[in-house]
Amino acid sequence: MGRLDSKVAVITGAASGIGLATAMRFAGEGAAVVLGDLNEEGGAAAVRQCKENGGRAVFQKCNVEAEGDIKALIERAVKEYGKLDIIYNNAGVGGALGSIEETSIEHWDKTQSVLLRAVFLGMKYAVPEMKKSGGGSIISTASVAGLRGGAGPHSYTAAKTAVIGLTRSVALEVGEFKIRVNCICPGGINTPMLANRFGGQQSAEVFLTQLQAIRRAGHPEDIANMALFLASDESQWITGTAMVVDGGMTAGGAPPAPQQAGQSTGAANEYYGPSFEYKA
């Protein structure tokens, strides 16, 4: 038996990185998975990998900045598989980069839209369906940047801090309906998004090895393992938490320098979007 047998899950940002690793993990443990992403080619490949891992999966193009797309993604899960048990609000970007004085309002707002507003929308539309199912698990990707300064760019850090707060407040509202709400705070994970910023996967691996007590880079599978636990019935009495998966990064020591964390120390007004739009 799988740990997610008969459960139905929605995952955003599922075409690569943490989302893909989690989709494959969920599918392998018996879940039917609806994969949302802007990357159609990557999404189709992710569906194939989930099916090869023994699970059921469908892809739907989803821009998490669009309320209608998130609503449609959840509706697809109910239409395709009859219910919703799990949502993983995972889609992410590096977002606005640069100094605070030169960060544009446009880039700030766009970052907040992807990293925070989309989490709110995922919760908003998942809760009614989970109430119908008699409960469920809402998971969101936060970050160690939400726990300490210097671990991410300004708008990214603000959004991830807010995801932790939103997780706690919504958990208090929906606990009586047996809906659990938790977030995961990854440390340095070697995903395509980060690898593209550091000149390739190997360069990112070397850099990330130095950041924490456990001297290796984090990998998407490390986060997928925590997501699986939070999605499963093993976490029935866990809600309102920010689960840190960082190899010991936040246990002590200095955070990475701003430029290493993707936060330019100059006045550059940049925006770093979805990883599939960039070449390493």
Tell me the catalytic residues.
156
Angle at alpha carbon of residue 131, lines to 126 and 134, rounded to 5°:
125
Is residue 56 within 8 Å of residue 62, measured between CB atoms?
A: no
Torsion of CA 184, 188, 191, 194, to 10 degrees: 120
86-89 and 32-37 strand pairing: unpaired
**Is 128 buried (19+), middle (13-18) or exposed (0-12) by CB count in 10 A?**
exposed
**Amino acid, res. 270:** E
How many Cβ atoms sit within 10 Å of the Cβ of residue 228? 22
Q: Taking phi first (over 0 means left), then psi (-120 to 50 degrees means alpha), and beta for anything else, what does residue 134 get?
A: left
Is residue 245 within 8 Å of residue 183, measured between CB atoms?
A: no
**E strand map for the chain:** 8-12, 32-37, 56-61, 86-89, 95-97, 136-141, 179-186, 242-245, 270-272
For residue 139, report the phi and psi dihedrals to the nearest 5 degrees.
-125, 140
Q: What is the per-residue DSSP string for 9-40?
A: EEEESTTSHHHHHHHHHHHHTT-EEEEEES-H
